[in-house]
Structure 1
Amino acid sequence: MTRGPRRTGRFGCDFAVSPTILSGTTDDPGVTRHRLLLATVVVVLTAAVSTTIWARAGARPDHCAAVAERAHARAGLVTGSGPEVLVVGDSYSVGAGLRTDQSWPVRLPGRVRVDGFSGSGFSAGASGCGDVSYARRVASALRPGTALVVVEGGLNDYDQPVAALAAGFDRLMAALAGHRVLVVGPPPAPERPAGTVATVDAVLSRLAAAHGTPYLSMTGVELTYQRDRLHPDAAGQRVFGDVVAERVRTLVTPGSRLRP
């Protein structure tokens, strides 16, 4: 039998389709029904395989594309003036659920740029969109003359092994060797089990101390949240930003020294 053209499905899976099936022409009605049934089975199986692939990857391609688009939009918003400050973070840093200009980094002193990706964290496996960990992204986000790098996150590492969190943190610090860094931990978002947030906070605090890096715990900060009970609302973003800004001022003012 002559093989038909290769067709590529919307999820990138390809399959062969018989010219007879495509045209629907045959002299035997029974054969026609059989071939139509076969074509239906092929389509269903292709969709099932595609769904399984994306489920194993952890996220749909349209979701990851939307997250990347949001990250790009936030990266285009540079605020303030003065010393160069780079924020590397998760959905909090891009203001998920809000306008980008309502995200907490706008509260910081200095000329602030943001490299944020919703769902990401210190661990390589924190995101369902592949390895978009902080260590993986930070090198391309750095600019000459950056006075301070603020790394914010941890809520997406809550279900990751401590070893994975530590490995990601170590890779991040290696990528930021020679740069002044402030690590900002996760707040007690109601949607996350309290015990897991406390564990991540403790691990990050210990790792930062081991690297001689300042650490700002947010577990005692009360925020107001959106309906998802995970992301701060506009008021919560302001509170978050003001707490971080207070610490940032001690690190970017002339003559300031690193203080863990």
Structure 2
Amino acid sequence: MTRRRFVLCCALVLIVTGVVGTTLWARAGARPDGCAFVESRADARAAVVTGSGPDVLVVGDSYSVGAGLRPDQSWPVRLSGRVRVDGFSGSGFSRHASACGDQSYATRIRGSLRPGTRLVVVEGGLNDYDQPVAELRSGFDRLVRELHGRRLLVVGPPPAPARPAGTVAAVDATLARLAVATGTPYLSMVEVRLTYQADRLHPDAAGQRVFGDAVAAHIRTLLAAG
């Protein structure tokens, strides 16, 4: 192989590697070392159980994990109850939202529920922004079926600057319609203004607090209404 061909091959490898790494970061909130890192972050967050009282399960994406922050800085710590988190960066309602296989909420929740779980909070939608509406609908319906009537609150996506505003609004509107159709309480976050990390996708510590407090306030209102 000539020196020129060798240099060209190396350049091509670097370009492909960069594209893959950037795609995984944008999709999953992960580092370029991929799904193994995402899984380790998910495990670390699952090990952090906060509060006391009724069992509350949070299922979500990188926001619930606290991507870029410590696990104890993620928004679920703002909730009342004994809060457990099943978070996986890059996941969503759709089967193909994640770059790491089927990490959809309906699929994961089977292993996360406990007999005594009093409330399930499912947060997401940012990673469904480029998925077909039919896939979003299917994932939402599967989630509701998996819960078998348990109390559920769905929390929609916020207006993260890294996502096209129109796509976030479209996901929010679809989730709101599905929630009405199934009688599921829904909290829209499109009007909530968060502060973000440098990637313009993940909230910083202050943004996580604002997000968590908004969810906590809605839960209190929901429970007060019976």
TM over 0.5: yes
Tell me the TM-score normalized by structure 2. Answer: 0.86
Aligned to 1:169, which of 114, 133, 140? 140
Look up the match of 2:110.
139
In structure 2, relative to structure 1, the CA distance for the partners of 1:147 and 1:251 (3 Å cut) is: farther
In structure 2, C-alpha distance between the alignment counterparts of 1:192 and 1:175, rounded to whole Å: 29
Whether 1:148 and 2:119 are equivalent positions in the alignment is yes
**Residue 140 of structure 1: SS of its match in structure 2?**
coil
Between the aligned partners of 1:229 and 1:115, the Cα distance in structure 2 is: 23
Structure 1 residue 218 corresponds to structure 2 residue 177: no
Deviations 1:233-260 (A, max 9, x none): 000000000000011123446xx52xxx
- 1:120 aligned counterpart, secondary structure: coil
Q: Which amino acid aligns with 1:110?
A: G
- Where has structure 1 moved over 4 Å in runs of 4 or more? 58-61
Aligned twin of 1:198: 169
- Deviation at residue 123 of structure 1 after TM alignment: 0.3
For 2:85, the equivalent position in structure 1 comes to 114
**Residues 173-223 of structure 1: per-residue CA shift (max 9 Å, x gap):** 110122000000000000000000000000000001111000000000000
Q: Cα RMSD between the aligned structures?
A: 2.2
Tell whether the 8 Å contact from 1:83 to 1:252 is kept in structure 2 after alignment: no
Residue correspondences, number: 207
Distance 2:121 2:208 in 1: 16
CA distance in 1, matches of 2:195, 2:33: 29
Indicate the SS of the match to 1:141.
coil
Q: Confirm or deny that 1:159 pairs with 2:127.
A: no
> Are the counterparts in 2 of residues 133 and 168 from structure 1 also a CA contact under 8 Å?
yes
For residue 73 of structure 1, report the CA deviation from its aligned partner: 0.3
Question: What SS does the aligned partner of 2:68 have?
Answer: coil
Give, in angstroms, the shift of residue 61 of structure 1: 9.2
Give the whole-Å Cα distance in 2 for the aligned partners of 1:98 and 1:104.
11
Question: For residue 69 of structure 1, what is the aligned residue in structure 2?
Answer: 40
Are the structure 2 counterparts of residues 61 and 177 from structure 1 closer, same or farther at C-alpha, using a change threshold of 3 Å?
A: farther
State the distance in 1 between where 2:191 and 2:143 align: 25
Contact 1:147 1:252 in 2 (8 A): no
| Counterpart-to-counterpart distance in 2, 1:138 and 1:149 | 10
Higher alpha-carbon Rg = 1
Structure 1, gaps ≥5 residues long: 1-43
1:93 and 2:54 aligned: no
Of the candidates 111, 114, 129, which is equivalent to residue 100 of structure 2? Answer: 129
Which ranges in structure 2 are unaligned for 5 or more consecutive residues? 1-8, 25-30
Which structure is higher in RCO with an 8 Å CA cutoff and minimum separation 6?
A: 2
Structure 2 residue aligned with 1:15: none
Maintained 8 Å contact 1:155/1:192: yes
Q: How much has 1:164 moved relative to structure 2? A: 0.6
- Cα 1:241–1:151 change in 2 (3 A) is same
